[in-house]
Amino acid sequence: MPSPPRAAVLAVLASAQFTVLLATSIVNVALPQIRDGVGLSDSATTWVVNAYGLAFGALLLSGGRASDLLGHRRVLLAGLGVFGTASATAALAASPGVLIAARAVQGVGAAAVAPAALA
């Protein structure tokens, strides 16, 4: 099986990295609608934003190490799977607890995706 063109691989990896970074800030734009839709308090609203960043920042080095040990492609695909599942869960969340937990799991997936995509 021939390998895909380098430009296509670069585009996919750049898109993955862009998605991880976009998830950090895009929630701020929709926060008023999220707060009203799920019924969040002011403190819970803060956790929706920070749960992702805390999990992402805390596990970023571990994601890089896992990528080195297990293989960049394997960790990238696993991270994208976790990130995508958590994103769908967050989109369908009907309670504040589920939404905050899903955002934290998104951060875990992003911590695997970011170093693997850059490698």
pLDDT of the residue at 80: 96
Rounded percentage of the chain residues whose pLDDT exceeds 70: 98
pLDDT over 80 (residue 2): no
User: What would the pLDDT profile of 23-70 be if each residue is shown by its tens digit?
Assistant: 888 888 888 888 888 888 888 889 998 999 999 999 999 999 999 999
SS3 95: coil
The pLDDT assigned to 1 comes to 63
3-class SS string, 44-85: HHHHHHHHHHHHHHHHHHHHHHHHHHHCHHHHHHHHHHHHHH
Position 71 scores a pLDDT of 95
Q: Is the distance from CB of 104 to CB of 87 less than 8 angstroms?
A: no
pTM: 0.89
